[in-house]
């Protein structure tokens, strides 16, 4: 099996990145870590990646003064320089243009901290609690131009505890994210999950916390 060359895009802490790097350190995992790339040179995850021996670079979006295509071209140049053929978004907090997303169609994945299509966007745990849901969780999906949308590769869910605080719920979901992301990515890259239109066949990977 030829392993794919993954670039992991981050903006901050990088705990999902660390979970992916740990999985990719196993030669049996269907992707190897080619690069960790951040839009913020101060992202803590860059140090974590370097400590793991993975090239880690930043393309500071602020230098492009809102010129999103120029920012993406600079990122694309770094992805090409490291031979990346897969992009894993892991807490990457910049919106991407439809053109950039199209150029990585079915080769770009994201993790989102809710059970999509519920609660796209930010503050997902607070909003889930405000909505009074019984179940919450996280989703790994292929990336489409609309934010937090795209064919669902896997979901992990847990039951919300009565009176649970947002931070406690976030921590429990994050632990699930760290299990789900490598598992869903592996199943996709091995061809066990395949996109058919806007759905994944035979069906998304399901984990329960």
Catalytic residues: 112
Neighbours of 162 (CB within 10 A): 5
Task: Write out the DSSP string of 148-188.
Answer: T-S-EEEEEEEEPPTT--HHHHHHHHHHHHHHHHHHHHHHH
16 near ligand GRF (CB under 6 A): yes
Residue with tokens 């993406």, as numbered in its chain: 72
Between 19 and 79, whose beta carbon lies closer to ligand GRF? 19
Separation between Cα atoms, residue 43 and residue 46, nearest integer Å: 6
Query: Among residues 91 and 204, whose Cβ is nearest to ligand GRF?
Result: 91
Residues forming a β-bridge with 156: 138, 207
The answer to whether 111 contacts ligand GRF (rule: CB under 6 A) is yes
Q: Which of 6, 7, 8, 12 binds ligand GRF (CB under 6 A)?
A: 12
Residue 19 or 75 having the CB closest to ligand GRF: 19
Rule CB under 6 A: choose which of 24, 34, 35, 113 binds ligand GRF. 113
# of chain residues touching ligand GRF (CB under 6 A): 14
Could you give the C-alpha distances from 130 to 69, 161, 173, in angstroms and in order? Answer: 37, 13, 16
Using CB under 6 A as the binding rule, whether residue 39 contacts ligand GRF is answered as no
Binding mask 158-187 toward ligand GRF (x if CB under 6 A, else -) reads: ----------------x--x----------
């Amino acid at each position: 099996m030829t392993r794919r060359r993954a670039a992991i895009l981050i903006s901050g802490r990088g705990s999902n990145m660390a979970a992916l790097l740990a999985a990719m350190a196993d030669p049996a995992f269907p992707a190897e870590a080619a690069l960790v790339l951040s839009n913020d040179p101060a992202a803590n995850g860059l140090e974590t990646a370097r400590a793991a021996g993975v090239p880690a670079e930043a393309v500071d979006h602020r230098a492009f003064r809102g010129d999103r295509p120029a920012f993406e071209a600079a990122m694309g140049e770094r992805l090409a320089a490291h031979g990346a053929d897969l992009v894993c978004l892991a807490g990457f907090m910049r919106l991407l243009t439809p053109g950039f997303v199209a150029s990585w169609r079915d080769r770009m994945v994201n993790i989102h901290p809710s059970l999509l299509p519920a609660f796209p966007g930010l503050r997902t745990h607070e909003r889930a609690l405000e909505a009074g849901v019984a179940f919450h969780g996280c989703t790994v999906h292929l990336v489409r131009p609309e934010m937090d949308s795209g064919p669902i590769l896997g979901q992990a869910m847990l039951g919300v505890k009565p009176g649970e605080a947002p931070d406690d719920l976030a921590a429990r979901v994050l632990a699930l994210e760290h299990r789900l992301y490598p598992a869903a990515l592996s199943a996709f890259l091995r061809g066990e999950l395949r996109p058919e239109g806007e759905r994944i066949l035979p069906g998304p990977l399901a984990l329960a916390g």
